[in-house]
Structure 1
């Protein structure tokens, strides 16, 4: 059986990165011969098998022919006559089109090793244009590899722009857009995803609410970067630094300033009430892409509350308690820590502020801890001596929490 290690496992090994999942291509076999050798078929769209001992995926070498619109509109041919070179030719980028034989020999017909050395993301061939999802994959790979010095090849960027102009991205299903976005937000440089898609014109097609932020000015004394789109890039990168691999925090960072795109031009560069204006476009984005509930809820809390957290030391204890309650911080205590991280990313994700302290975060966490330490069982009876219950208990608990927060806020910083 002719088997070759392919794709990300080969690429990452050549880059000196930690190994991930290993995928294999098998040449010259059929489904019957694979099953006879003990492999278990699992592929729904094309022939993929699990190794009987390792459980790793082995796919028959295949070609693909475009048969319709979208990323699923393909006819797959996995005939035993398909060669390894033909299989590699259908892949997206040259750095993913390198195979390794069992003896360690590289099979690299499209120059992927050279592009790895040159730090270039380049498409394999014209068939790239047949799958619109590959535009998003280009952004996602840049989110991972930009810190290593990678850039997108000019001819690849030109091809992506042509795909966008042809309306190809309109056929992407929401779940696949979210999958690529989520992985980009969990990468080291989400800004490279946004910048790549923006430069290709693709961001307007898949995230128009975010794309609308580019070119919107902010007050330079607070935002030396001025451009709101650039600010969001910086916030996403800071979120990735503060909470590595956390796409939940990353999504809230991405969407916290959507309201600034709606500021009337007569008010610019000020953005009065943008935190509340941003809730509607955030909800529209979440509905369109079917964003998971936990991501929606944190993002909405960050959009609505980030200015309150920034001015935390100006807030009364009752206002802090109401903020915690609005964010569901008693039932979901982890949300307050996540909110604090998003707000810190916002404050430090601007020109010259990357190393600034953000004491508001720890102060919010201390107030939250004090409020959570209050227990209904510790409250005394009502004025009439009867045990508290119903609305009276709720109000007494709220007042006790406000008192605990006030005490926490009075401690020296």
Structure 2
């Protein structure tokens, strides 16, 4: 049994880039051989084995044949005679089609090291066309390595456009789209993921709500709303590592792309419905939906927080979940800061509206709920009295120009 490290761990080791997972391919072996050595088999469509100690993934060298639609439309073939080169040939990009043997030697039959040195994301072969998921993966790798200067090869981008136009993208499961998108949101330059999808005509198929924003003028700016959104997205990446924050920034403006009425006049119900529909389609975690909804509904409130009346400010705090957890407010303000300051030349500029809002929130936290209960307030009346006290404090802070 010959085993080789493959894929991302080899690529990132050569790039001197952090990685945590190590994947292996096994040549000249059978499933029973691995089971006899104590490996645990997982997966049904194609067997993958977990090492009994390290729990790292081991897969038998395999070839594949297109037999249906989508990324699941393949038949896999494993055999003791399948070579390492044959296994590597089915991979998406040349930089992912390298292996490392037990002595540290790099096996690179498709020019991955050359493309690493030239900072090019290039497909291995025309078999790339058979798997629509590869569009998302290439876009994600472009976001991952953009800061290092990597670009998608023109010929690879052409194949991606061909896949987009073929209708295959509709066969991608929502879960797979979300997995790749969520990973891309965690990269240093997540906007590149969206840009690459747009360049190959995939954005309009996968995220039409976002694609439409590039036709919407951005008020007080020469940019369109799509461009502003991407600037905001990268700004948020510099502020916050939480992908749910970045997702909220990415989709917080999608309501503007529906019709002219939504461009000229804020339509809260329409905007929130679009956000919820998008989250439903992608099957996002609840946390992503909650922060995206809060940003969509209350972002303009935050930008204009100093001009709001006390009751509206309290309503906003409730709406963003600040009283449940102060971290909710911090995350919400971070999203609003990205939206407000994205187009500014200096990212060091403070977001005064958000800073003021957090200070106000800290002040109204001084309301003593237990003291009010001792005075006889309870139930709905207690809630109303707490809000009245909060509003009084805010009114005094506004009067003092706090």
Bin for the TM-score computed over the shorter chain: over 0.9
Which deviations, in whole Å up to 9, do the C-alpha atoms of 1:190-234 show, x marking residues without a partner?
A: 110000000111001111000000132123xx334x211111111
**Aligned-partner SS, 2:21:** coil
Instruction: Write the mapping of 1:249-398 to structure 2, written as runs, cut at 5 A.
Output: 249-264=245-260, 271-273=264-266, 277-352=270-345, 354-379=347-372, 387-398=376-387
Q: Does 1:248 align with 2:237?
A: no
Displacement of 1:379 in angstroms is 1.4
CA distance in 2, matches of 1:242, 1:67: 45
CA distance in 1, matches of 2:387, 2:326: 16
Aligned to 1:122: 122
Displacement of 1:412 in angstroms is 6.3
Displacement of 1:381 in angstroms is 5.7
Aligned to 1:84: 84
CA distance in 1, matches of 2:213, 2:135: 21
> Retained in 2: the 8 A contact 1:62–1:82?
yes
Instruction: Write the mapping of 1:158-169 to structure 2, written as runs, cut at 5 A.
Output: 158-169=158-169
Q: Which deviates more from structure 2 when the two are superposed, residues 230-239 or residues 343-352?
A: 343-352
Displacement of 1:334 in angstroms is 2.1
Count of aligned pairs: 402
**Aligned-partner SS, 2:215:** coil
Which deviations, in whole Å up to 9, do the C-alpha atoms of 1:338-362 show, x marking residues without a partner?
A: 1100000111212535332212222
Q: Which deviates more from structure 2 when the two are superposed, residues 358-367 or residues 10-19?
A: 358-367
Q: Which deviates more from structure 2 when the two are superposed, residues 293-302 or residues 50-59?
A: 50-59
Structure-2 change in CA distance of 1:411 and 1:34 (3 Å)? farther
Aligned to 2:231: 234
Question: What root-mean-square deviation, in Å, do the aligned CA atoms of Structure 1 and Structure 2 show?
Answer: 1.9
CA distance in 2, matches of 1:252, 1:342: 7
> Retained in 2: the 8 A contact 1:129–1:160?
yes
> Retained in 2: the 8 A contact 1:146–1:192?
yes
TM-score, scaled relative to structure 2: 0.95
Instruction: Write the mapping of 1:62-101 to structure 2, written as runs, cut at 5 A.
Output: 62-101=62-101
Displacement of 1:371 in angstroms is 2.9
**Aligned-partner SS, 1:65:** strand
Q: Which deviates more from structure 2 when the two are superposed, residues 155-164 or residues 403-412?
A: 403-412
**Aligned-partner SS, 1:305:** helix
Structure-2 change in CA distance of 1:158 and 1:98 (3 Å)? same
Displacement of 1:57 in angstroms is 1.3
Displacement of 1:370 in angstroms is 2.6
> Retained in 1: the 8 A contact 2:11–2:96?
yes
Structure-2 change in CA distance of 1:327 and 1:47 (3 Å)? same
> Retained in 2: the 8 A contact 1:143–1:191?
yes
Which deviations, in whole Å up to 9, do the C-alpha atoms of 1:273-324 show, x marking residues without a partner?
A: 1665422221221121122211111101101111111111111222211111
Which deviations, in whole Å up to 9, do the C-alpha atoms of 1:40-88 show, x marking residues without a partner?
A: 2223222221222322111111111111111111111111111000110
Displacement of 1:253 in angstroms is 0.3
**Structure 1 unpaired stretches of 5+:** none
Structure-2 change in CA distance of 1:66 and 1:390 (3 Å)? same
CA distance in 2, matches of 1:412, 1:402: 15
Identify the match of residue 394 of structure 2 among 383, 402, 405: 405
Structure-2 change in CA distance of 1:131 and 1:411 (3 Å)? farther
Shift >3 Å, 4+ stretches: 274-277, 404-413
Instruction: Write the mapping of 1:145-224 to structure 2, written as runs, cut at 5 A.
Output: 145-219=145-219, 222-224=220-222
TM-score, scaled relative to structure 1: 0.93
CA distance in 2, matches of 1:310, 1:275: 16
CA distance in 1, matches of 2:210, 2:231: 13
Q: Which deviates more from structure 2 when the two are superposed, residues 287-296 or residues 338-347?
A: 287-296
**Aligned-partner SS, 2:214:** coil
> Retained in 1: the 8 A contact 2:218–2:228?
no
**Aligned-partner SS, 1:64:** strand
Structure-2 change in CA distance of 1:350 and 1:263 (3 Å)? farther
CA distance in 2, matches of 1:406, 1:64: 69
Structure-2 change in CA distance of 1:106 and 1:404 (3 Å)? same
**Aligned-partner SS, 1:278:** helix
> Retained in 2: the 8 A contact 1:215–1:228?
yes
Which deviations, in whole Å up to 9, do the C-alpha atoms of 1:101-142 show, x marking residues without a partner?
A: 111111111111111111111111111111111111111111
CA distance in 2, matches of 1:2, 1:94: 22
CA distance in 1, matches of 2:19, 2:400: 48
